[in-house]
Structure formats: structure tokens, C-alpha cells
Structure 1
């Protein structure tokens, strides 16, 4: 509510609020522009000057005039009810929605949406004090109703449009990932089909280069599928599927799955003995995918003639599964680059 405060030793003058707004409109708009310009990184553009405060002032003046004539229905059509019923449509709500959407498009925050209406409220309050002008309680209530409905309409439109932008961005990223996955799957599948066709013709055998090409394609398909499943499982809203399972059997599955890739890359693969009584409480699929990725990287960077070792050590209350290789590792420059990247990302 705008306070009707008078300066000491002065006398108040009373007039209709809509008359006050019409008479001093230029000054009110100037004060609002000044408040906007004084906020960091913000200056009003032509679109805002037309659809922001000026349009709201038109609607506020029309609402006050309608109520002065006793045209209650016209007033509600212009500025909406005080209940804030979202199903009620009004001119104030419609133009406020446009204003909120415009601010989002220009990259401003939701705070700016609220501040724009607060600027007008403050400008009217300050100018009425400067001119020793007082208004009726009913006019104050009308002003507050218009401001409340304007802010509600602008904030609602801003939030809905922002949610839509976020959803579209997420959909675009999802489509990009799906496109990459489909492309890679098709490449591996085409290679596998060509290799299988050649083998079925009888002109080549499974032990030759064509057989190895088929093996590489099948391994590539498995890797893509495992990684895709892992990404889905760790996505937002997905619950972990924990279970207790035997560690030795689990490592045996990993060994069987990874041995083919090690053989294709001509890399040695050694699995240290695991106690048959050890059990693990974890999400088996995610652990399988994570360990599979570690082994794939180890095989890749160890290269031909390298040795990769898989082991499990017992700690106080947990089991540590380790993958070791004798590859060259990262250079000092690469280590520095990765550390700087993490440091920059964190801060």
C-alpha cells in the first residue's frame, strides 16, 4: 500500500488518483526509467518502454475511472479480481504476461520482473509525498490489486516460458545423444553384418581378419549399450537397484566379458584370485558398467603387449576393486591441464 505521508508544516490536497496519474504521467515514467537504468546491467529498451510501465499505467487509469463511474464489471475485466484467480483473464494479466516473457527473452531474472512493478509503486508513492497528495483507501486497494495481478501475470509467464526453454534444451541434448548413439550403433552393426556375410559365404574363416572385425563390432555394440544403460540409470529420478551378490561370481562375469576385448587389442589381462565368501551390497548393473569402462580404458591405453590387472582388496567395512595397467599414463602437461580444468570448473 502506498503511504499518504505529508511533509511537516504542509497541507494535503486531495484529488482522484486517475487524475493524478494522468497529470503526472510523464514524471512517473521518467522516474521508473531512472530506477531501471540504475540497476546493474539493466537499461530499458523501446519494447519495454511501450509494453511495460506505460501500458500498465493506461490500464490502471482505466480501472480507476471505471470504478469511479461505478462500472465494477469493466474494472474487473481490465485488471482482474483481488482473489488472484488464475482462470480470470484481464488486460493487466495479458500485458503483464507479455512483459514477463520479454524479460526472459532478454536474459533477465525473475527479480527484475517484480522490480519493474515495484518501481512504479515507489514512483507513485514518492511523487505523491513530494506533491502532498493523498488518495482514498479504495484507490489504494485498486492500485494494489492491479500491481498484484500484474506481478502475478508477469511472474507466471516468465516461469512458464523459462521451464519451456529448459525443457527444450534438455530435449535437444537428449536428441543429440540419441543421434550419436544411433550413428555409432549403425556403424558397428554394418561392420558386423558385412563380416558375417563374408564368413557365411565360406570365403573367409572366423580366425582371420574378418572374424576379428566381427568381434570388434560386437564388443563395440556391447560397450555402447552398457554406457547408455549406465547413463539412464544414473539420471535424475532414477532409483538405485541395490542387491547383495557374490563378488567372485561378479568378477568372473567381468572377466568373461572383458577377455574378448583384451584379446582383440593383444593386451594381457590378469585377474587375481577372489575369495568365494565375499559379498557386495551395490547396484550390480552400475558397478558392472563402471568397472567395464575402467577396463576398456586400461586396454585401450596399455595397447599391444600391455598388461591389465583386476583385483579386489578387503578394507575395514568395504571392498576396493582396482584396475591397474602398465601403460604410459598421462604426461605432466596433460595432468596440469586436467587439474586446471577441474579447478576452473569448481570456482
Structure 2
């Protein structure tokens, strides 16, 4: 068999290359990879030659032992490991890694039949052993490299997010510290412009921390703490914190009356985070001295919470991108671009839907859609934030 392989080496490599080309991802170089079929073919020939000597077991140094189990050092194992890495780097799938070696087996069988070249049982077993060990080594390395690359991308993404968070945190903290130091000098009061700067910085810090905590809960998959809450009490709590932010942003917050019998069965902290993020977004983009409106009401079997602003309306196509992390559509690019993404995930975790509707030339309205519930006699009041 080794004589047959040697004589037809170029033909076998060409056949394998043609098979690989049919399924190779776009952009993969046409030339054979450095540790691909030709290297394996040479090692197979070497193994077959050694097995015909007085010390046939020495071939295991080239091919490795049969039967799998714990990997053993061999020439085929080393080159197949490098080949698995090459295939992963070029965008192949793990299935294509297996097929890459299977192509050679198929090409050898086809050419042997075409040329009426006999292949002995022992030689065929050797071929299978070499293929088995090569595939095992290549797939193992392919998986390792794939997992390493995934972990590396996740680390880069995490570092990016931590960097954004630290940058925003530092900016707000520096602003608050500077404003406080000026006030402590006694030349300005808390009610003046410097006091307003301090207020804005503290509100920004609070929003940043609340948003980050909600994201941590969502990412970690922590269990939800569902409970039936009065919708009126829920909106009243939001109004308390949002009114301060409205003053800081120099706009007006309008909150509608809520039917006292309506209720929501939700994880309070996540829903507070979602509505809070929508209001922060509205305060950020609504025009100066305009209104931001918070409405909560029932429609059939649903509870709807609307946040309406006067940002001037959305640009074409922007609604689809608003909930993508780190994407910011407006002119004000301060912040992390995470608020709306976290809001949607928080709403969906509570069994609801978050959508946006454009009011051309005026503004937009974000709507949280949740299942409707009603309060019963003796239902617990909404717990107040610590």
C-alpha cells in the first residue's frame, strides 16, 4: 500500500483539495494548509513502511497507538493538532475537520478501486488507526482553540463594559466631588448653580449603579422575586425619584392617575429598573422645557406603562437599533448605551414586552406591556426602597 500511496501522492492530494474546496468557507486560501493532507499522507506512508520492518511496533511513534483513550505523543498527533488549529483559524466547522481527513480515506479507496490496486486487511487497519488518531487530535485542538477564542472575546467585551462603567463612574464622581468642595468653601449655596451640578452628578451616579445592578442580575440569571404589587403605589414610588431628575434636566414630569385596583405580578427591582431607564432616556433626549409623561393604565387583559417624550421624533430605521447594547442613536452620546437594552431584558424577564412608537415631528413613546392583575382585599402594599 505504501508504494501505491507514494506513486499516487500528487493525485490523492489533488482529489482531497477539490473536495475541501467545495465546502470551504468564503475567503479561505486555495493552497493546502501547512499541516494538512500532504503531511498526513507522508506520515501514513512512513507508518506503513515501518510496519514491514523487523520492529513494526516502532510505527506507533509515527501514528500513535490504536484504541483511543489517553492521548499519546506521536508525529501524526502533533501535526494533526496544528492542523486542527489551522482549520479553526480559517473558519471551518468541527464537522469539516472530520471530513477533511475522511476525504483522504475516500480518495484512497476510490483510486484503489479505479486502478485495481489491492489493499490488505492489516494495511486498511493501519489506515483507520492513523485517521482515528489524527481526527481525535485535530478535533481536540479545534475545540480548545474555539473555546479559547470565545473566552477571549467574552473577556474583551467584559473589559470594554467595565471600562465604560469605570469611565462614567469616574466622571460623575469627579463632578460631585468638585461641586461639593466648592460648596464647602462657603462662597456658594446648595440652592445655586453649583448645587444643581452636585444634584445632577448624584442622580447620574444613582442611575448608573441601578442600571448596572439590574444588568448583573439579568446576566447572572438570578431567580426572579415575583410578587403582586399595587400599580398605583408602584408608579408613585417611581414619581418620587423621577421628579428630582426632571428638575435637574429642566423639564416637566407629568404622571397620570392610576386605578387603585390595578396590580402587577413582577420582580419589583427589575421593573423599577426598566421604567427608570425609560425615564432617564426620555429626560436625556426630550427638548428643554418640554414634558415627559408617565401613564399607567389597563387595556383588556393587559397593563400598559407608557413613557412619552418630546425628542422631535425618531430618525428612519433607528427604532430597530435602539435596544442593541452600546448603540446610541441621538446626538447626546453620554452614558453607556445600555439603558434600553437592560430595560427590554428586564421587562421580558417579567413576562412583558417593551416596544417603541415614533411620533413623527414630536417625540416617541415607549410602552411596557404586562399581564393584568387586580388587587384583592388584604393585598400587601408595595415595599419601599431601602
- The equivalences for 1:38-49 within 5 A come to 38-39=22-23, 41=26, 42-45=28-31, 48=33
Q: Distance in 1 between matches of 2:38 and 2:101?
A: 11
Whether the 8 Å CA contact 2:183–2:189 is kept in 1: the answer is yes
- The equivalences for 1:227-306 within 5 A come to 227-235=211-219, 237-306=221-290
The one-character-per-residue Cα deviations of 1:65-106 (angstroms, maximum 9, x if unpaired) are 333336454233322333222433332222111001012222
Q: 1:278 to 1:37 in 2, by over 3 A?
A: closer
Q: Distance in 2 between matches of 1:270 and 1:337?
A: 29
Shift of 1:34: 3.4
> Is 1:311 the counterpart of 2:326 in the alignment?
no
Whether the 8 Å CA contact 1:247–1:276 is kept in 2: the answer is yes
> Is 1:329 the counterpart of 2:325 in the alignment?
no
Shift of 1:130: 1.6
Residue 3 of structure 1 aligns with which residue? none
Whether the 8 Å CA contact 2:63–2:133 is kept in 1: the answer is yes
Residue 97 of structure 1 aligns with which residue? 81
SS at 1:68's partner residue? coil
Q: How many pairs align?
A: 320
Whether the 8 Å CA contact 1:192–1:214 is kept in 2: the answer is yes
Q: Distance in 1 between matches of 2:312 and 2:102?
A: 59
Q: Which range is displaced more, 268-277 or 32-41?
A: 32-41
Q: 1:185 to 1:43 in 2, by over 3 A?
A: closer
> Is 1:222 the counterpart of 2:206 in the alignment?
yes
- The equivalences for 1:56-75 within 5 A come to 56-69=40-53, 71=55, 73-75=57-59
Whether the 8 Å CA contact 1:100–1:113 is kept in 2: the answer is yes
Shift of 1:214: 0.2
Q: Where do 5+ consecutive residues of structure 1 fail to align? A: 1-16, 343-347
Q: Where do 5+ consecutive residues of structure 2 fail to align? A: 323-386
The one-character-per-residue Cα deviations of 1:119-161 (angstroms, maximum 9, x if unpaired) are 2112211211121012122221221121122112112211210
Shift of 1:276: 4.1
Q: 1:201 to 1:339 in 2, by over 3 A?
A: closer
> Is 1:106 the counterpart of 2:90 in the alignment?
yes
The one-character-per-residue Cα deviations of 1:188-235 (angstroms, maximum 9, x if unpaired) are 101101111111221110000010000000111112112222222222
Q: Which range is displaced more, 226-235 or 176-185?
A: 226-235
Higher-Rg structure is 1
Q: Distance in 1 between matches of 2:274 and 2:114?
A: 70
Give me the TM-score of the superposition, normalised by structure 1: 0.83
> Is 1:29 the counterpart of 2:9 in the alignment?
no
Q: 1:304 to 1:27 in 2, by over 3 A?
A: closer
Shift of 1:186: 0.5
Give me the TM-score of the superposition, normalised by structure 2: 0.76
Q: Distance in 2 between matches of 1:184 and 1:328?
A: 23
Alignment RMSD (CA, Å) = 2.4
Residue 197 of structure 2 aligns with which residue? 213
Q: Distance in 2 between matches of 1:341 and 1:278?
A: 33
Whether the 8 Å CA contact 1:233–1:240 is kept in 2: the answer is no
Query: Structure 1 residue aligned with 2:122, among 95, 119, 138?
Result: 138
Residue 338 of structure 1 aligns with which residue? 318
Q: 1:268 to 1:37 in 2, by over 3 A?
A: closer
Q: 1:62 to 1:108 in 2, by over 3 A?
A: same
Q: 1:280 to 1:55 in 2, by over 3 A?
A: same
SS at 2:273's partner residue? helix
SS at 1:69's partner residue? coil
